[in-house]
Amino acid sequence: MGIVSKKRDIEKDVYTLALERINRTYDIFDNVVVMFSGGKDSTVCLNMTLQVAKERNKLPLHVYFFDEEAIPYETIDYVERVADLPEIKMNWLCLPVKHRNGCSRNHPHWWPWAPEDKDKWCRPYPTHESVIGLDDIPNFPRNIDERPTVPECNGLLFPPQEWGEVGIIMGIRSEESLMRYRTILQTSEKRYEDYMINLKSKTALANCVKVCPIYDMKTVDVWSGPKKFGWDYNTTYDILEKVGLTHLQQRCAPPYGEEPMRGLWQYSIAFPKLWEKMQNRVPGSATAARYANTELYAFGGLPDKPKDTSWEEFIQYFLNKHPEPYRSKIAEVINGFVGIHYKKTSEPMLGTHHPESGIGWKFLLRIAMRGDFKGRKQPMFTSNKKQYAAQKKAYEVERHGQKR
């Protein structure tokens, strides 16, 4: 079981710390690469790693970009500029890796650049000389049921006999989500440093380690880089700024996932030409663009439970909407949370989440409705005394009402 790291105050600024972490990465690993998305966080990682690589005479810097197809043209323009830098060895990957489609229960995955969907591609196939496609990786699974996710591609890209141990620099920051915050806090014996995470999968072979040198940066820190140092950046963010999105809301990745689909509506306004293709690319996306922020997708509220129906029956009703094998997998997750609740408290589970376990029927209902394949939904417990008291009061009010 993981050990939770405690926060500690330090005197160094986040920029200095990130440079130290990247230098430490070069000390530890046989090879260091940057996983680049074209987003603001990977832009910071790219430029800082490039600085360290120059100082250590480790050029060219190996950069890997998974082209997810349904991304703004401005992002592609930026990636091309990066790929043309003489210090960069770009690996522009156009592969049908498995992605989550939270817009449809019957079609829970989609595959960018899938050859069988060529007539639906959102953009023309890239022609840059650094592009790596299916024909360039003979052992990439062609069978749709065997295609890997992005993390599972590490074994194909970095075989240990050629690469040894690989430090993969990634722009993951704890500010961006609770899940990322928890991932950084959870340490294990196999970690090299607190900001490094072993990547274990059926193809990774445990020789790849995720390195998060900017995990403690805030959004304002990230945007200070382009302003202070004159770094090039993705102008997609300028367009999203004009739409009125806050810095924390701005994303340049495909918005089809369970959480990102809440921003699908933005594409019809910010990138109308791309949206013409995007809404037909994956099943359910046009509907999700309209209703993702409503109770239909368990956002912005939940459907009312009928009085003559138990919570178990209500949750099972939504579970049954998922086809197998996903239904059984989601049920397993829900049962796991039920077990966690009763390990932490003997008090009954109610609609309101319990302050000790952070789990309630409404929490489980959201999982049943969305699927939550990636485990992004986490119990809503808190260590804040005031919040704990408020949760305890809400729980007791509901429990008292049931007794009446």
How do residues 145-161 score in pLDDT, each as one tens digit? Answer: 999 999 889 888 999 99
Asked if 290 and 374 sit in the same domain, the reply is no
Asked if 250 and 374 sit in the same domain, the reply is no
Asked if 292 and 319 sit in the same domain, the reply is no
How far apart (Å, rounded) are the C-alpha atoms in residues 115 and 83?
A: 25
Domain range for residue 382? Answer: 311-403
Residue 206: inside a domain:
yes
Asked if 18 and 59 sit in the same domain, the reply is yes
Angle at 26 between CA 16 and CA 36, to 5 degrees: 80
Mean pLDDT of 109-126: 97
Return the pLDDT at 188. Answer: 44
Beta carbons of 46 and 232 less than 8 angstroms apart: no
Which residue type, as a one-letter code, is found at position 266?
Q
For 43-69, the DSSP string reads HHHHHHHHHHHHHTT-PSEEEEEE--S
Residue 227: inside a domain:
no
| DSSP letter (8 states) at residue 166 | E
Asked if 246 and 278 sit in the same domain, the reply is yes
Asked if 17 and 93 sit in the same domain, the reply is yes
Asked if 145 and 262 sit in the same domain, the reply is no
Q: What is the pLDDT of residues 171-208, one digit of tens each?
A: 988 876 555 445 555 544 344 567 776 554 444 456 88
Domain count, the chain: 3
Residue 233: inside a domain:
no
How far apart (Å, rounded) are the C-alpha atoms in residues 361 and 315?
A: 8
Residue 306: inside a domain:
no
How far apart (Å, rounded) are the C-alpha atoms in residues 39 and 260?
A: 15
Domain boundary among 297, 323, 346: 297
Residue 91: inside a domain:
yes
Q: What is the pLDDT of residues 32-68, one digit of tens each?
A: 999 999 999 999 999 999 999 999 999 999 999 999 9
**Cβ count near 307 (within 10 Å):** 5
Asked if 148 and 25 sit in the same domain, the reply is yes
Beta carbons of 40 and 233 less than 8 angstroms apart: yes
Q: What is the pLDDT of residues 223-260, one digit of tens each?
A: 999 999 999 999 999 999 998 888 877 888 888 998 88
Asked if 49 and 80 sit in the same domain, the reply is yes
Residue 379: inside a domain:
yes
The pLDDT confidence band at residue 391, using thresholds 50, 70 and 90, is confident
Asked if 218 and 251 sit in the same domain, the reply is no
Asked if 215 and 105 sit in the same domain, the reply is yes
- The domain that holds 78 is classified in CATH as 3.40.50
